[in-house]
Structure 1
């Protein structure tokens, strides 16, 4: 069975689907919902969880107009209806209407917040609708009077001759309808340097930290209104690489980097939100990279506890139906980081020794956030994406020399050392985690989406000089 046609309407997201119906002397057969074929055609993969049937005894039964907070896929199992929809979402399309007759070969995808209604045109009509969330007691949503003069729906059977419930007769006019707000964005780990950058670009997002939402607290997780969000940006992480090697650090690293993402992945499946998770070059041991760096499909090979917990988090997030894992490296933002340390040493007259055998690319938080917006806005295929700044790979030693130069110090005041020598000289009595020597991430997959990373050294110069990048701000 094939979907014959997908038709966009004037209401954004409201789609008419013309189905292939096979008829013979016995009756007819159709594939009312076939996920693979319909999503290939362009229908949203909206994840229905419930199928409802409404039997209508007589012609003229009229129901609506209800704007429930979930998506619907409506059709008929018997008979015919006149379907009508009114956009009741916040925004410029509020009040826009559309109507069509639905028979066996027609179905309609109705996005969240669009008011749905129908009038039966035959006795014994069975109206069917798939929904992607469960009804919740006590939850209210916008409704509109069937005869509202502004909507002016041309009902085939006059409403005074129709059968309408008392509740629907009491629905308000469009002037009195409170528009449905869009589902929101949640930033988990909003207090970190990446979280702060995300909140700056997503100003309407809800920011939370662990004291507001502890993902290890089952009761707190259960009480949180996950159904209110369509996107969750998980910037929470335990990043103390060396401390993760201690008993207490090990527990904290696994809780934040593995258990937390696993909880979010489960919730994403239950509530239908898109989960964006930020990962690390540490999931690789630095030995198997190709000529352009580690690719997204390279086998995981984490070295230390921090790395292992991050790799576990990647695997967990991959189970969410709608997910992006953004693997990054050498993150620099508003907070304590390597570049700020080098600036301070340069200002204090210190001449540090810096490792020259760990190679990668810097990732500035504004670039990581820009890539996040690009993937979400462009509806890029879900999955794993490497995200760093661009340009030639450098060592930490190269970065330190550049910072010293930009700070007015002589580059030669920074001396090179190896990872092994640094650990021997400065790691006495400390539990140092193993580091991958090759952290370059291949950016071909990200570039294929139309995103061009800014050169890391250009971004470094702007950062050291205290200039800010121009970032798009999302509502």
Structure 2
């Protein structure tokens, strides 16, 4: 019996992500009215904005019509327009809750959100039942499905009407038992820039699970036309954009300027559009170069952009377009150090070769180790932190490049006094080609990422560990 007058509420069930909703139904002598789907109110009540694109209705003439158990690679909002059903849902996703069962009666005053990979089935309890569902993807023959037999002994669903006495299709009768079901894998994670310093750190952190993909620009050119059709993007849950044009001085040349805008702005705009169209979380790596370095203290995530050179301008443009994606994290870093060519590796090499360098002493900041950036990205994704921009670098006292160089010399057993100081202006005074202006203050405030439960490593300890000393 439909319950009238109750307030909208959304509650968790025993299956993660499967949410039961109580819907307000307003009735009088003429009949009744309800808002079957009202995006603003339902998001406020705790339902994710899952982006439905199609509305389907299944009409069932007789009591006892039974359908399922079907698990598709999309989310559903299931409700009843008329009549009443007994619904049964079985978790068919990879993981510890595989095989978990939840049952409930659904009438016009209730609905249920069924996440991707949870098997859906129902049995009609009244004649002339209209079963309605919104889905957030269009049917595709290329999609991966899983099915479970309605009579599976392990699930042990207590059907109100025995299955021997009801109408079931031959196809549904032939579905496998739980032991033979192929679990639905998580939505894929795509790491772009897989051959770079951060890409290598992400590979070390994420591993080679079947749902993790890595791509270099040679393998997937995100500036190319037709990117929207290059993948079945609905199968992806996260894109981590660790790719960028980072040759800051070459970006000041005509060829470099065009390449920087392509990689750091055009490509990112395409990724933001694809992410929003397909419910994907986009993680984008930003830079301290979006600032001019004149602030008296550490830069927060809310400080306005004021880039000095082409590289900084393109990174700022990329940040702005990422912010148009509903689900996004911008991870802003400074002075990145990882596997391969970087400042620390260069200083170590100079020390070992007996070279006494002059190093810039009027630029102040903190190193960002790729291991820590990768850990921060995974923390944001796994913790469900609020979408937005987060500064990520090592913690501790800010230093100059010259200070860091002296630390590298000392930690590798060389005399730190061999490192001399030079100003940025003097260092580049005799440069043969164009030079990008550098921000003198690159210190990033870490309060926001720390508030999510992520503790950045102390920079001195991280540097020593990176050097293996």
TM-score, normalisation: structure 2: 0.94
Shift, 1:444, TM fit? 1.5
- Distance in 1, matches of 2:401 and 2:363, equals 7
Shift, 1:147, TM fit? 2.2
Partner residue of 2:353 out of 342, 348, 357: 348
Shift, 1:242, TM fit? 0.5
Conserved 8 A contact 1:214-1:221: no
The equivalent of 1:224 in structure 2 is 231
Compared CA separation, residues 410 and 3, structure 1 to 2 (3 A): farther
Shift, 1:19, TM fit? 2.0
The equivalent of 1:396 in structure 2 is 401
- Distance in 2, matches of 1:369 and 1:35, equals 34
- Residue 264 of structure 1 aligns to a residue in which SS? helix
Conserved 8 A contact 1:189-1:235: yes
Conserved 8 A contact 2:8-2:45: no
Shift, 1:363, TM fit? 0.5
The equivalent of 2:463 in structure 1 is 460
The equivalent of 1:308 in structure 2 is 313
2:24 pairs with 1:20: yes
The equivalent of 2:324 in structure 1 is 319
Shift, 1:141, TM fit? 0.9
- Distance in 2, matches of 1:96 and 1:50, equals 28
How does 1:424-463 map onto structure 2 within 5 Å?
A: 424-425=429-430, 427=431, 429-463=432-466
Partner residue of 2:367 out of 362, 385, 392: 362
- Distance in 2, matches of 1:407 and 1:213, equals 40
The equivalent of 1:179 in structure 2 is 183
How does 1:231-250 map onto structure 2 within 5 Å?
A: 231-250=238-257
- Residue 405 of structure 1 aligns to a residue in which SS? helix
Unpaired runs of 5+ residues, structure 2, are none
2:174 pairs with 1:170: yes
Conserved 8 A contact 2:87-2:123: yes
- Distance in 1, matches of 2:433 and 2:144, equals 57
TM-score, normalisation: structure 1: 0.93
- Distance in 2, matches of 1:171 and 1:212, equals 38
- Distance in 2, matches of 1:298 and 1:383, equals 13
Conserved 8 A contact 1:3-1:17: no
Compared CA separation, residues 123 and 206, structure 1 to 2 (3 A): same
2:132 pairs with 1:128: yes
- Residue 126 of structure 1 aligns to a residue in which SS? strand
Partner residue of 1:379 out of 384, 387, 390: 384
Shift, 1:364, TM fit? 0.6
The number of residue pairs the alignment matches comes to 462
The equivalent of 1:418 in structure 2 is 423
- Distance in 2, matches of 1:395 and 1:377, equals 34
Shift, 1:144, TM fit? 1.8
Partner residue of 1:207 out of 182, 191, 214: 214
- Residue 369 of structure 1 aligns to a residue in which SS? helix
C-alpha distance after superposition, 1:276-330 (max 9, x if no partner): 110100011112x353x11111111111111111111111111111110000000
Shift, 1:206, TM fit? 1.4
> What's the C-alpha RMSD, in Å, of the aligned pairs?
1.8
The equivalent of 2:293 in structure 1 is 286
C-alpha distance after superposition, 1:304-362 (max 9, x if no partner): 11111111111111111111000000000001111111111111111111111111111
Compared CA separation, residues 337 and 3, structure 1 to 2 (3 A): farther
The equivalent of 1:33 in structure 2 is 37
C-alpha distance after superposition, 1:173-223 (max 9, x if no partner): 223221111112111111001000001101122111111111122246523
Indicate the larger mover: 73-82 or 193-202.
Answer: 73-82
